[in-house]
Chains A and B, each alone.
Chain A
C-alpha cells in the first residue's frame, strides 16, 4: 500500500533535497506523533487527509459528510505521524455530535499539533474556528486551502499577514494538486519540535466576562498545576459545558496532564535516538 513520492519543493527554500513523504495508509500502530485535522465543513480536509495518507476517504461536497473521525498515517523525514481527520464544524461551542467529536479530540486526545484547514475563499467564516482552536492549544498550523479556487475567484490571500495576526504559521496549499503540502509538513514538524515558536491570538471579550474568567483561572491552576489551557477551560465552565465539567469532576484533567508529561519524556528520548535535535 505504501508508495514513495517526491514532492515538489516549491515555496520552500530551506527544504532539504531528501524531503520525502511516505504514505502509510492505515498502518498506524507504530507512530511517533499525532496530528489532528480540524476545519469547517467543505474546506477540503478529507482531500488533504487523502493526499497525505494515500487513503481514499470519500470526499462529498455537503456539510456533515464526515461524522466520525478517520485515522491514517504518513511518514515525513523519517518521523511517523498519525493523522486524525475530525468532522468538519463551524465551531466547537455547540453540543452537536460532530462538534463534540472534534472538540474532545483536540482537548483530550492531546494531538502534538493541530492543522486547521481553512477555505481561502471564505476566510472570515473559517477564522472563527481557528480562533477557537487557538484558545485550546498553541500547537496550531493554519493551512489555507483551496488557493486555486481563490485565484479563480480573483482573491489574493496574504498568508504572512494572517500568520502575524494569528500568532501561528499560516501555509497556503492546494490539497487537490499537492501544492504547498511539503511546506505544510515541514512547518508542522517545526512547531512540534519547537523550532517554530507560536504565540496564539486570544480574544479578550467583555470586561465582566474577563473578570469572571480571571477568577476561575487561578482556581483551575491550583487544582491542576501546569494546565496549558486553563483560560479556555474557565470559559467553557462559564458557558456550562457538560463535558468539561465531567472531566473536572472525575479527575480526568490531572490525569491528562500527567499523560502529557510522560509523553514529552518519551518524545525527547525518541528525538535523541533519531539525532534530529
Chain B
C-alpha cells in the first residue's frame, strides 16, 4: 500500500461526498455533546447567572458602555499618577542621597575624580533615575490592569469598540492587542496572533506602537504632573495630571484608528474579515497571585531590562559630557548641533540626543534627558522633587508648555524600542514591514510635533 494511493483514494472519495459533509461532522459532534451535557448537568437556579448578565448589560450598554470604559481607564491612570507621585519623590530623594554619600566616600578615599564621576555621576545616576521614575507607576499600573484583564473585561472593550475598527478596515480584536500594548508593545505585537487574517494582523502590528507602553507611561506621567498640573496642588493636580494622560492615550487610540484606515486605503487594501469574538464569563481574579505576578514577574522584569540599558546609557552620557570640545563638551556640542531640528519640532537638541541614546529602550528617555541637562555642568545637584525638575527645565533650559506637550506627543508616537522592532521582525519575517513600522511611527511623530509647533508659534504661543 502506497501513501500516494491512499491520498488519491481520499481525494476521490472526497469529491463523491456532498459538499456539506464537513458541516455534518461538526453538527453531529455538537449534537452528541448536547445530549451528553444535558444528561450530566442539572440547573437548580439561575440567580448568579442573571447577575453576570446584568453586569454585562451594563458594561456594554449603548448608554453606559463607553463612559464606563473611559471611567475605568481614568481611574487606573489616576491611581497610577497619584500613587506614583507619593512614592516617586521619596524614592528619588533616597537614591540621590545614597549617590551623594557614595561620592563623598569616594572623595574621602582619594579615588581619582574620573572613576568617581563615571561610577556615581554616570552609571549610578542613570540607574537611580530609571528606578525612581519607572518603579512607582509600574507598581500600581500593572496590578490594576491585570485585575481588569483577569476579570474578563478586555474582550468587552473589544466588543464596545469594534465598530470603530470595522470602519477603519481593521479587526475588532486589535483592541485586545492594543490593551496588551499598554503593558509592553512587544507583548502587544505577539498577541496579534489572535487575528487570523494576515492583512488585519499586519495592521495591528504596525499600529500597536501608538499605544503608550509601560516604559513610556512614566514619561507621560512626569510631564503631565510637572507641567500640565503645575499650577495646582493636591487632589486637583493629580486629577488634572491623570486627565491629561487619558487625553494622550485617547490621541494614541485615535492615531491607531487613523493609521489603520490609511493602511487599508493604501498599502494593505482589503475588506474586513469575518469577525467572531468570544466574550468569556467573568472570573473572580486571584488578587494575591496578581500582586505577586505583576510585581515580581512584570515590574521587576521590565525594570531590570530598563536598568540594563540605563547603566550603559548613563556611562555614555557621562563620557559625552566630560569630553571637552572647545570650551564646551561633546554632549553639549551634539545637542547644539541637533538643536535647530529639535526646535523645529517644538523640542530641543538635548531631547533628540536623549532619544537617540535611548533607542534600545525608550523608557530611559527622560532619565537620559535629565542627565544631559544636569550632567552638562557637574555643579547642579540631581533634582529630586517635581518643583526642582520644573525649575531646572523651565528656568535652566527654556522649556515651555509647548515643549512639554510636544514631548508627550513625541513619546506617544515615535518609533518602537529595539525589543519591539525585533519582535515585529520575528512576527512578520519581513524587513519591509519592520522598516515600515519604524518609518510610519517616527514619521507620524515628526509630522505631528512639527505641525503643533508651527501652529502654536503662528498663534503666538511657545
- B-contacting residues of A (Cβ < 8 Å)? 41-42, 56, 58-64, 67, 91, 93, 96-98, 119-128, 130-132, 149, 152-159, 161-162, 165-166, 176, 201, 203-206, 208-209, 212, 215-216, 219-220, 222-223, 234-235, 237-240, 245, 248-249, 251
CB-based contact B49/A153 at 8 Å: yes
Contacts of B35 in A (CB 8 A): 165
CB-based contact B40/A209 at 8 Å: no
Q: State the Cβ distance, A167 to closest chain B Cβ, in Å.
A: 11
User: Which of A91, A122, A206 gathers most chain B CB within 10 Å?
Assistant: A206
Does B457 reach chain A (CB closer than 8 Å)?
A: no
CB-based contact B4/A249 at 8 Å: yes
Name B265-302 residues within 8 Å CB distance of A. 277-278, 280-283, 286, 289, 292-293, 297
Given contact pairs A154-B43, A158-B40, A203-B32, A149 touches B281 in the complex (Cβ within 8 A): yes
Q: How far is the CA of A106 from the CA of B146 in the complex (A)?
A: 31
Q: A125-B33, A222-B1 are in contact. List 8 more A-B contacts (CB 8 A).
A: A63-B277, A91-B26, A98-B193, A153-B46, A156-B41, A212-B16, A223-B6, A248-B7
Selected contact of A56 from candidates B14, B24, B176, B293, CB within 8 Å:
B293
Selected contact of A67 from candidates B24, B25, B43, B190, CB within 8 Å:
B190
CB-based contact B41/A215 at 8 Å: no
Given contact pairs A56-B297, A249-B7, A127 touches B36 in the complex (Cβ within 8 A): yes
Contacts of A162 in B (CB 8 A): 36, 40
Selected contact of A41 from candidates B1, B278, B292, CB within 8 Å:
B278
Chain A residue with the shortest CB-CB distance to B22? A239
CB-based contact B36/A158 at 8 Å: no
Chain A residue with the shortest CB-CB distance to B26? A93
Interface residues on B, range: 35 or more
Contacts of B26 in A (CB 8 A): 91, 93, 128
CB-based contact B151/A215 at 8 Å: no
Contacts of B297 in A (CB 8 A): 56, 58
Q: State the Cβ distance, A116 to closest chain B Cβ, in Å.
A: 12
Contacts of B4 in A (CB 8 A): 249
CB-based contact A123/B41 at 8 Å: yes
- A-contacting residues of B (Cβ < 8 Å)? 1-7, 9-10, 13-14, 16-18, 21-22, 24-26, 28-30, 32-49, 52, 146, 149-152, 154-155, 173, 176, 190-191, 193-194, 196, 277-278, 280-283, 286, 289, 292-293, 297
Question: Could you list 28 examples of A-B contacts with CB < 8 Å?
Answer: A42-B281, A59-B150, A60-B149, A61-B150, A67-B190, A67-B191, A93-B22, A128-B26, A149-B283, A153-B49, A153-B52, A154-B47, A156-B41, A156-B43, A156-B44, A157-B41, A158-B39, A159-B40, A201-B36, A203-B28, A209-B17, A215-B9, A215-B13, A219-B9, A237-B6, A245-B7, A249-B3, A251-B3
Q: How far is the CA of A165 from the CA of B173 in the complex (A)?
A: 37
Q: How far is the CA of A24 from the CA of B309 in the complex (A)?
A: 33
Q: How far is the CA of A67 from the CA of B35 in the complex (A)?
A: 31
CB-based contact A161/B24 at 8 Å: no
Selected contact of B281 from candidates A121, A219, A222, CB within 8 Å:
A121
Chain B residue with the shortest CB-CB distance to A241? B10
CB-based contact A219/B5 at 8 Å: yes
Contacts of B2 in A (CB 8 A): 223
Q: How far is the CA of A125 from the CA of B355 in the complex (A)?
A: 51
Q: State the Cβ distance, A236 to closest chain B Cβ, in Å.
A: 9
Contacts of A59 in B (CB 8 A): 150
Q: How far is the CA of A33 from the CA of B327 in the complex (A)?
A: 71
Selected contact of A237 from candidates B10, B18, B150, CB within 8 Å:
B10
Selected contact of A209 from candidates B21, B41, B46, B191, CB within 8 Å:
B21
Contacts of B46 in A (CB 8 A): 153-154
Q: How far is the CA of A154 from the CA of B3 in the complex (A)?
A: 53
Contacts of A56 in B (CB 8 A): 289, 292-293, 297
Q: State the Cβ distance, B148 to closest chain A Cβ, in Å.
A: 9
Q: How far is the CA of A33 from the CA of B7 in the complex (A)?
A: 34
User: Which of B37, B48, B289 gathers most chain A CB within 10 Å?
Assistant: B37
CB-based contact B9/A216 at 8 Å: yes
Q: How far is the CA of A203 from the CA of B45 in the complex (A)?
A: 32
Chain A residue with the shortest CB-CB distance to B3? A248
Q: How far is the CA of A125 from the CA of B52 in the complex (A)?
A: 19
Q: State the Cβ distance, A229 to closest chain B Cβ, in Å.
A: 15
Contacts of B194 in A (CB 8 A): 63-64, 67
Q: How far is the CA of A157 from the CA of B36 in the complex (A)?
A: 11
Q: State the Cβ distance, A101 to closest chain B Cβ, in Å.
A: 10
Contacts of B22 in A (CB 8 A): 93, 239
CB-based contact B3/A63 at 8 Å: no
CB-based contact A205/B40 at 8 Å: no
Chain A residue with the shortest CB-CB distance to B50? A153
Selected contact of B43 from candidates A63, A126, A155, A208, CB within 8 Å:
A155
Q: How far is the CA of A156 from the CA of B46 in the complex (A)?
A: 12
Q: How far is the CA of A234 from the CA of B176 in the complex (A)?
A: 38
Contacts of B151 in A (CB 8 A): 61
Q: State the Cβ distance, B279 to closest chain A Cβ, in Å.
A: 9
Given contact pairs A42-B278, A58-B297, A127-B36, A216 touches B10 in the complex (Cβ within 8 A): yes
Q: State the Cβ distance, B401 to closest chain A Cβ, in Å.
A: 38
Contacts of A91 in B (CB 8 A): 26
Contacts of A240 in B (CB 8 A): 14
CB-based contact A63/B155 at 8 Å: yes
Q: How far is the CA of A161 from the CA of B29 in the complex (A)?
A: 18
Q: State the Cβ distance, A213 to closest chain B Cβ, in Å.
A: 9
CB-based contact A62/B154 at 8 Å: yes
CB-based contact A152/B30 at 8 Å: no
CB-based contact A209/B9 at 8 Å: no
CB-based contact A61/B33 at 8 Å: no
Q: State the Cβ distance, A161 to closest chain B Cβ, in Å.
A: 5
Chain B residue with the shortest CB-CB distance to A124? B37
CB-based contact B36/A166 at 8 Å: yes
Contacts of A119 in B (CB 8 A): 281
CB-based contact B6/A219 at 8 Å: yes
User: Which of A42, A62, A125, A128 gathers most chain B CB within 10 Å?
Assistant: A62
Given contact pairs A127-B36, A127-B37, A62 touches B193 in the complex (Cβ within 8 A): no
CB-based contact A216/B24 at 8 Å: no
Chain B residue with the shortest CB-CB distance to A150? B41
Chain B residue with the shortest CB-CB distance to A212? B13
Contacts of A130 in B (CB 8 A): 33
CB-based contact A156/B193 at 8 Å: no
CB-based contact A204/B28 at 8 Å: yes
CB-based contact A97/B193 at 8 Å: yes
Q: How far is the CA of A56 from the CA of B192 in the complex (A)?
A: 22
